[in-house]
């Protein structure tokens, strides 16, 4: 189950709409061990393509160093599909290498209604999970109780 | 020639959960062989048919080794080697 704040969902959807028809991609980082997405980090799609995305290699290094320094992990890794459904492709499943991340897919194929789904991808195996959108994490049961929630 | 190697989450099964290990070598290829001697199986996750796996990024300090000779990239005493899985995919 992915529990996520509505403003973060809105930010991902807005990014996907903005970059359409190219695929948009990014991360939402959160405290290590919390499973709570907090810091929205839109990334450039170095492939600038309607059918492929890839973080630029220098951006990737900077991102992971920054998360490391903050004791954060990539809780959500998102990208958009601009002409197909919000379901991981074979390429997505083959390349996915963060077994603890929630892989969020947003489809912008319909100009009005977006699709938003979340998956775990472990060793190439895709498992869809429910998404709970909340206004704040205060009353959602995420993370340890001794970490302040936002 | 000792270097520090940062290990990504997905490869920590090979290092007993360690985020960072030390290794020796004067080229990246030697460092990877030395890593594999102590953390069996890790080389197969990084190198395929004698070249770096397309979707694994390796940096010596701040430089992506793809632009520094790949497996032949020079490594000096005290350098930091960082391994990061590519974040990539797409509909095609």
Any residues with CB less than 8 A from the CB of A130 and at least 6 apart, and which?
A1, A2, A118
* pLDDT value for A138: 82
Q: Which H/E stretch holds residue A44?
A: none
> CB of B18 within 8 A of CB of B7?
yes
Look at residues A104, A39, A29, A101 and name the one whose alpha carbon lies nearest to residue A68.
Answer: A29
* pLDDT value for A123: 94
Q: State the nearest Cα–Cα gap between B83 and chain A, in angstroms.
A: 9
- Are B92 and A95 a contacting pair at CB < 8 A? no
- For residue A90, the domain's CATH number is 3.40.140.10
Report the relative pairing of strands A102-107 and A72-81 from DSSP bridges.
Answer: parallel
Q: State the nearest Cα–Cα gap between B42 and chain A, in angstroms.
A: 14
Overall domain count for chain A: 1
- Residue by residue, pLDDT tens for chain A (150 residues) are 999 999 999 999 999 999 999 999 999 999 999 999 999 999 999 999 999 999 999 999 999 999 999 999 999 999 999 999 999 999 999 999 999 999 999 999 999 999 999 999 999 999 999 999 999 998 666 555 555 555
In a domain, A25, yes or no: yes
> CB of B1 within 8 A of CB of B76?
yes
Q: State the nearest Cα–Cα gap between B55 and chain A, in angstroms.
A: 7
What phi and psi, each to the nearest 5 degrees, are found at residue B41?
95, -10
- Are B88 and A83 a contacting pair at CB < 8 A? no
- Sort out which chain B residues have CB atoms less than 8 A from A82's CB and list them: 91
In a domain, A64, yes or no: yes
- Sort out which chain B residues have CB atoms less than 8 A from A96's CB and list them: 89
Task: Say yes or no: ipTM exceeds 0.90.
Answer: yes
Domain that holds residue A21: 2-134
Helices (H) and strands (E) in chain A, counts: 3, 9
Integer Cα distance of B24 and B4 in angstroms: 9
Tokens 């980082």 -> residue:
A29
- Are A23 and B91 a contacting pair at CB < 8 A? yes
**Domain range annotation of chain B:** 2-85
In a domain, A145, yes or no: no
In a domain, A148, yes or no: no
For chain B, what percent of residues have pLDDT higher than 90? 96
* pLDDT value for A149: 53
Task: Read off the pLDDT band of B92 (50, 70, 90).
Answer: confident
B2-85 is a CATH 3.40.225.10 domain: no
pTM: 0.92
Q: Is B70 on the interface with A (CB under 8 A)?
A: no
Integer Cα distance of A107 and A113 in angstroms: 9
> Of A46, A97, A98, A109, which to mutate for an interface test with B (greatest number of B Cβ within 10 Å)?
A97
> Of A35, A95, A100, which to mutate for an interface test with B (greatest number of B Cβ within 10 Å)?
A95
Q: pLDDT tens digits for B33-73?
A: 999 999 999 999 999 999 999 999 999 999 999 999 999 99
Any residues with CB less than 8 A from the CB of B67 and at least 6 apart, and which?
none
Q: Is B9 on the interface with A (CB under 8 A)?
A: yes
Q: Is A126 on the interface with B (CB under 8 A)?
A: no
* pLDDT value for B82: 98
* pLDDT value for B74: 96
Task: Read off the pLDDT band of B79 (50, 70, 90).
Answer: very high
In a domain, A144, yes or no: no
Q: pLDDT tens digits for A53-95?
A: 999 999 999 999 999 999 999 999 999 999 999 999 999 999 9
Report the relative pairing of strands A115-122 and A102-107 from DSSP bridges.
Answer: antiparallel
């Amino acid at each position: 189950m992915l529990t996520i704040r509505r403003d973060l969902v809105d930010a991902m959807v807005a990014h996907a709409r903005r970059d359409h028809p190219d695929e948009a991609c990014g991360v939402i980082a959160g405290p290590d061990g919390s499973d709570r997405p907090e810091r929205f980090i839109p990334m450039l799609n170095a492939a600038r393509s309607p059918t492929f995305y890839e973080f630029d290699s220098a951006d990737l290094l900077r991102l992971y160093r920054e998360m490391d320094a903050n004791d954060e992990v990539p809780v959500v890794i998102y990208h958009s599909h601009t002409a197909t459904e919000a379901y991981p492709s074979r390429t997505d499943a083959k390349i996915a290498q963060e077994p603890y991340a929630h892989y969020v897919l947003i489809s912008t194929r319909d100009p009005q209604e977006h699709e938003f789904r979340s998956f775990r991808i472990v060793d190439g195996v895709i498992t869809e999970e429910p998404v709970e959108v909340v206004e704040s994490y205060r009353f959602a049961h995420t993370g340890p109780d001794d970490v302040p929630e936002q | 020639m000792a270097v520090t190697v940062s290990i990504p989450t997905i490869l920590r099964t090979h290092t007993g959960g360690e985020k960072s290990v030390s290794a020796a070598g004067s080229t990246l290829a030697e460092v990877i062989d030395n890593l594999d001697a102590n953390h069996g199986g890790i080389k197969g996750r990084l190198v395929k048919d004698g070249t770096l796996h397309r979707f694994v990024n390796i940096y010596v300090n701040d430089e992506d080794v793809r632009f520094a000779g790949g497996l032949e990239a020079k490594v000096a005493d005290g350098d930091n080697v960082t391994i990061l899985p590519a974040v990539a995919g797409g509909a095609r």
